[in-house]
Chain A
Amino acid sequence: MLLKDIRDYQILFLGLFLFLGIGTRDWTLRPELIAVAIATCLVTQWIFSLVTGKEQILNLRSALITSLGLSLLLRADHWTTMAIAAAVAIASKFIFKFGDKHFFNPANFGIISALILTPDAWVSPGQWGEEWWYGLLFVGTGGMILQRIGRWDTTAAFLGTYSLLEAIRNIWLGWTWDVYWHRLMSGSLLLFALFMITDPRSIPNSRIGRVVWAMCIAGLTFILRNYFFVSTAVFWALFALAPLTILIDVLWLAPRFSWQRGDEQAGEELLTQHS
């Protein structure tokens, strides 16, 4: 039962990062906030499942992933902020739906809501530093999950576009290449590219759609970061362009992803194709 679902790996890896971050990085992360995030996510999930009556029993995994994502990325001064972020994150899954599909990444939605709605939330983009072995760890673990869910195209399109744009800018400005590598080697950027924009349930279903969508996010991130000096550009870009998923799904039809193997053809197809 355990580790059958790919999400179990995701939970395992995110938990590992959290553990590593607390242990080896100088994070202002408070254990009670992690507890609040997890509890709020689970409770909200449970309440919404009860109310809508749609979800079969409890989607614990999804809620747990969201809470781990929030704990990894979001910082807050008060526990209430974390609770708000967690509740809103889960609620977004049930509220912002087009047909049967939620189009906001829950953790990202929670982060942006907390940044907008509360006075004391922030994200620390520099928290991972640029140590190469973290990069390797993220790429290894993320790559493993992407391989199984068949969403590597999204990450590749995002990172490819973003690094290309940064390269052009670097050449134009006349910076040396170490500036470029320093900008790209940020652990937070990798974590985002591998674990956040690849959530197969909320991103476009068709491959071409995903590639176009990821490129748009990369472009918007680039612009927000370099011309508007937003340090949390990636999250805003994903937030702003998430609704685009609906349009892209209409333009390029493809079956929706499912976590259960063989449950739907889509999942089956994707899994066999890449494993």
Chain B
Amino acid sequence: MKIFRLLTPLLLAIVAVLCFAPAAWAFCGFYVAKADTKLYNKASQVVLARQGDRTVMTMANDFQGEVKDFAIVIPVPTVLQKEQVRVTQTKIIERLDAFSAPRLVEYFDSDPCASAYSDNLPQSAPAPASERREAGSARGDRSLGVTVEARFNVGEYDILILSAKESGGLETWLKRNGYKIPRGAKQLLQPYIRSSMKFFVAKVNLDKFEESGYQFLRPLQISYKSPKFMLPIRLGMINATTEQDLIVYILSPQGQTEITNYRTVKIPSDVNIPLFVKDEFGEFYKSMFQTVYTKENRKVGFLEYAWDMGSCDPCSADPLTPEELKEAGVFWLNDNSPSNVPVRPGFRGSFPSSSVFISRLHVRYTRDKFPEDLMFQQTANSESFQGRYVLQHPFQGELKCQAGREYKRSLPKRFEQEAQTLAKLTNWKIQDIRNKMNLSVGNLTYSWWENFLSWLGLN
């Protein structure tokens, strides 16, 4: 009876488990050079288009070394067949990057003597292009508990899908077949093998590559069905000595995607910064990212952009066309859906829901702060967000009225505020910023006590 009492709840728990449904998978490989090429992977770009438990993943390939040395090993959830792997255009990732990049916006003050209303025209300058990198290596034989589940050729790549029984065998197999496996790979391969994952191994078929006539290796795109929504970053950390940048573009039918096992933090946005940043926006963004990354203790993922793909405001690039979205892996657009109506470029698109929502996550990770692979979840959060930085040009004409004089007097305070904001965001020296600003706003003079007062007012 006692046993029965203990067992009943347990049995019920098991029944409850059986009511749900299973599967498994994962990503992002390590470089495994075939020759002694100096390889390092500092940043990578991945596009994940996901609906339900179907995922299409596109991995940018900006491998820097000799094409013949390229090879990659990625854990995947299922055995992939030829139809599930294809190569796509590099352009598509560049388009996504440009569309979602943090942006600089310019506004021009109107004549304060002319009207009370200012009709500012926002203009956007495209943001710093993000860096990437990506890659790895492998090929076939048999023994050591390693099974070649599939072997095929896609575009300029030779693909192998391997399954393994234990990590030592897989490591030996890869080495025997000429892949240079980084030290420490064995320990890291084990968890993936034990989680029943397969290994996607790609290298370049040189003949096919020459035939194709492409200058660079094109991105690989794979599709699979699995409830697990994650990116394996651990393997990629084996041959990385410093922090690595990963930009993930997640396309979903409903709303924002967030990381479930690390915090997802919005990048600082909508701040007014000094005009000179226009010429060094890339530097600004890098410094700002580094500052906020350090401030968050180096252990969060950053949201840089979240928007319905049908519109943008302001646009740093035209929204992607339905064809481009399909190329990027979006598989849920029907040909008769309203989203196929040509997307209107330009800004202030009212709200033409395109049923594709993009989240751009920027994760800078290191081994000590990111021990676990990234897990994601799609949410219904349709809130728009963008990294947006504002340049506010002062009115340059003559100011004769009272309002004009007041406006002019208010400017130094505003500039100082912008300088402070910039210093806080980037950790740049405030004095350097002030010096630079004097250059760009040199025609505006203000007395020492105005300076002093504004300084006081802000401190």
Contacts and interface: CB of A to CB of B under 8 A. Distances in A.
Contacts of A229: 23-24, 227-229, 375
A126 B9 contact: no
Contact of B381 (A26, A28, A231, A252): A28
A6 B371 CA distance: 39
B371 A251 contact: no
A126 B5 CA distance: 37
Contacts of A127: 263
Contact of A75 (B254, B371, B381): B381
Interface residues of B, number: 48
A183 B261 contact: yes
Given A28-B381, A120-B380, A186-B261, A77 B255 contact: yes
A128 B258 CA distance: 13
B379 interface: yes
A219 interface: yes
A182 B261 contact: yes
7 contacts: A77-B255, A122-B377, A182-B261, A219-B13, A224-B20, A228-B21, A244-B13
Given A126-B264, A228-B21, A241-B13, 10 more contacts: A28-B381, A75-B379, A121-B380, A122-B379, A130-B299, A174-B187, A216-B13, A224-B20, A237-B16, A241-B16
B331 interface: no
B8 interface: yes
A265 interface: no
B333 interface: no
A182 B372 contact: yes
A122 B17 contact: no
Nearest to B371: A178
Nearest to B226: A229
A103 to B, nearest CB: 13
A227 B18 CA distance: 11
Contact of B261 (A28, A75, A126, A220): A126
B114 interface: no
Interface residues of A, number: 49
Contacts of B228: 229
A25 B227 contact: no
A186 B265 CA distance: 16
A91 interface: no
A237 B17 CA distance: 9
For the complex of A and B, the 4 pairs showing the least CB-CB separation, nearest first, are A120-B380, A122-B379, A129-B263, A178-B371
B381 A122 contact: yes
B129 to A, nearest CB: 26
Contacts, number: 120
Q: Most chain-A CB neighbours within 10 Å: which of B5, B254, B262, B266?
A: B5
A212 interface: yes
B195 to A, nearest CB: 7
A248 interface: yes
Contacts of B190: 173-174
Nearest to A217: B13
A129 B8 contact: no
Interface of A: 25-26, 28, 75-77, 119-122, 124-131, 172-176, 178-179, 181-183, 186, 212-213, 216, 219-220, 223-224, 227-231, 237, 240-241, 244, 247-248, 251-252
Contact of A77 (B260, B368, B382): B382
Contacts of A230: 20
B16 A174 contact: no
Contacts of B6: 212
Interface in B211-250: 227-229
Nearest to A230: B20
B12 A244 contact: yes
A122 B262 contact: no
Contacts of B160: none
B53 to A, nearest CB: 9
A211 B375 CA distance: 31
A227 B196 CA distance: 11
Interface string B302-331: 000000000000000000000000000000
B54 to A, nearest CB: 14
Interface string B403-428: 00000000000000000000000000
Interface in B246-302: 254-255, 258-266, 297, 299-300
Contacts of A77: 255, 380-383
A119 B380 contact: yes
